[in-house]
Amino acid sequence: MNFMHLLHGGLDRRTAIFLGILFTFSLGVSAMNQLGTPGTSFHASSFLVSVLGKYLTYALLALSVDLVWGFCGVLSLGHGAFFALGGYAMGMYLMRQIGSRGVYGNPDLPDFMVFLNWQELPWFWIGFDQFWFAALMVVVAPGALAFAFGWFAFRSRVTGVYLSIITQALTFALMLAFFRNDMGFGGNNGLTDFKDILGYDIQSDSTRVGLLMASAFALGIGFIFCRALVNSKFGKVLIAVRDAESRTRFLGYRAENYKLLVWTISAAMAGVAGALYVPQVGIINPSEFSPANSIEIVVWVAIGGRGTLIGAAIGGVLVNFGKSVFTGVFPELWLFALGGLFIASTLFLPKGIVGVFERISKRWRYPISKLNSRELNSGS
């Protein structure tokens, strides 16, 4: 697969518009935070910067689900596990950076290990004092798990609702495991009390702006890559597998290999989203593995527009913005509202929000094309 040809396939008009809006908005909010006068309407608070950065990580997570569900037909109800694994990899690095500044002042062990009377750092924590190693694990940990899971699942021809149930069982099993104190990941409390990242104070405005821009950059790169991938020959085969897997196999394609590759790529993207999420919210705990979280991701994609990429990103941002507003007013009713949105989108918006705009644009173009056809007929 030629890289330059793949990259060119992702730089179309829709991608350019999406990237333009993404970076204009992100740069605008960053400038308002750094240059605006506090207390005025031209100032963006640090809280707003962190919330927007969190929304962008959700958009990247939704993008990863749309890649495997919208274009390959694999409905994952376990992508929250890959998101959480990437988050834990980043959280372990941030915990190692605390050093002797923790509550117990131990330069080698995180506070929760001292509290639980651990005598030495577990072997799987070794190397997380280096950012490059943590960044590598952000991709490798969820990618390796996805590859191992997909190797057995796809080669066993597990498909449809059975595969979805297995993915949900996977994330539930991981949630139960990470809740255990003897696992070495902080148990129920998880990892928190982070101090800095790459030597910069994690609470400072400039660091929060940097994390926001890093999230925007990751989303932009992820969108370009996904767009290029689905527009390539590889992407066409993925769509064929989604629409008619048995016919695709009959033509000589190894459908399980295509599924496995896109599944692994999708998991790695989710891990990157989780890694960017953690320093912006300041905590990672086993609740991120909750099966309900993975189901919610699917709802984002469905509402935004499955199989459109841009719709998944929009859904990830808009639904979570609605969640922030709605839970502030009626917190106990949010799950009912989310379920209602999913049912409404399934019944009335099968192509999501993006599908509505596509229908409107076609209606605007239709009278022009109809007028041109009448002119041609009259001229003949």
In tens, the pLDDT along 35-94 reads 988 888 888 999 999 999 999 999 999 999 999 999 999 999 999 999 999 999 999 999
pTM: 0.91
Q: What's the pLDDT score for residue 3?
A: 45
CA angle 232–236–238, rounded 5-degree value: 110
Coil, strand or helix: which one is 284?
Answer: strand
Which CATH architecture best describes the domain 3-349?
Orthogonal Bundle (1.10)
Do residues 72 and 266 touch, judged by C-beta distance below 8 A?
no
Do residues 231 and 15 touch, judged by C-beta distance below 8 A?
no
* Distance (Å, whole) CA 190 – CA 91: 9
> What does each of the 380 residues of the chain score in pLDDT, given as a tens digit?
554 555 555 567 778 888 999 999 999 999 999 998 888 888 899 999 999 999 999 999 999 999 999 999 999 999 999 999 999 999 999 999 998 998 898 989 999 999 999 999 999 999 999 999 999 999 999 999 999 999 999 999 998 899 999 999 999 999 999 999 989 999 999 999 999 999 999 999 999 999 999 999 999 999 999 999 999 999 999 999 999 999 999 999 999 999 999 999 999 999 999 999 999 999 999 999 999 999 999 999 999 999 999 999 999 999 999 888 888 888 888 888 888 888 888 788 778 888 887 777 777 765 544 544 444 444 43
Those residues with Cβ within 8 angstroms of residue 211's Cβ, 6 or more apart along the chain or in another chain: 50, 53, 197, 276, 279, 280
> How many other C-beta atoms can be found within 10 angstroms of the C-beta atom of residue 80?
29
* Distance (Å, whole) CA 229 – CA 180: 39
- For 365, what's the count of Cα atoms within 13 Å in the CB-facing half-sphere? 6
Sequence spans of domains, the chain: 3-349, 351-380
CA angle 68–4–306, rounded 5-degree value: 20
